[in-house]
Structure 1
């Protein structure tokens, strides 16, 4: 058997395995579950390239955005897309992360990037608090009303008579 035949045999074997795995749904599962890595990995790679001194500090803005968005999508993919109703303010926070990284690691430390990241972080916190109050806050209101009702029903005041 020649090296050419062995190479051809390995190639055919590889193609057969790929086709079989594809028909079994392995690639479909990987694509459905781990597609957020196609957003997360470039974000991390851009940060790595900055810290390796290959790219300028401005690249940290899209790097922070991509990394944050990739994490949001990964969480939603693993925990269920219903969790996006709570996590949506973090899309604003992704921009804040990128701006803050740019502020911290840029040579000239632009104050406007810091102010923008601070404002976006405050907006994120406000929207997150409003979302949580709107979605789960009603339970706290209901529990509070039940407690007040129980106190009114069962609390015995001492009578002055």
Structure 2
């Protein structure tokens, strides 16, 4: 058997496997689940180019934003897009991450950049806590009422 026949046979088998996997929906599932990689890879690439001294520190702002957003999209792909109702403050947090990275790794950065990034991070955290409180607040109130009732029942009564 010649090498040429062996190579052609392996190529035909590989094409058949790819076609079968495509027909079974494997590529559709992977594309549906892993599309945030299209956002994560450029963010990682910007960081890689900065740390190899190819690009200036300014690329860390969009790089940090892209990585943060891709992590949010992965989370939504895994747990459902209704979760975006809770984690939307992450878009503000992404800007804070990018600005903070710029402040840390740029020697000539102004302290105001750090202040803005911290304010944005605190704002994002406050909005996230507000969203959690609005979404599950009734359950928290119910839990506190049950705990208060148990404490009242368990408390030893004083002599009347």
TM range (shorter): 0.7 to 0.9
1:11-160 correspondence to structure 2 within 5 Å: 11-150=11-150, 156-159=157-160
Cα distance in 2 between the residues matched to 1:16 and 1:78: 30
TM score, norm. by length of structure 1:
0.84
Cα distance in 2 between the residues matched to 1:68 and 1:52: 21
Residues 103 and 9 of structure 1, relative CA distance in 2, 3 Å threshold: same
- How many pairs are equivalent? 159
Instruction: Give unmatched runs, 5+ long, in structure 1.
Output: none
C-alpha RMSD of matched pairs (Å): 2.3
Cα distance in 2 between the residues matched to 1:26 and 1:42: 25
Q: Offset at 1:104?
A: 0.7
Instruction: Give unmatched runs, 5+ long, in structure 2.
Output: none
Q: Offset at 1:130?
A: 0.6
TM score, norm. by length of structure 2:
0.85
Cα distance in 1 between the residues matched to 2:72 and 2:150: 41
Residues 2 and 151 of structure 1, relative CA distance in 2, 3 Å threshold: closer
Q: Offset at 1:110?
A: 2.3
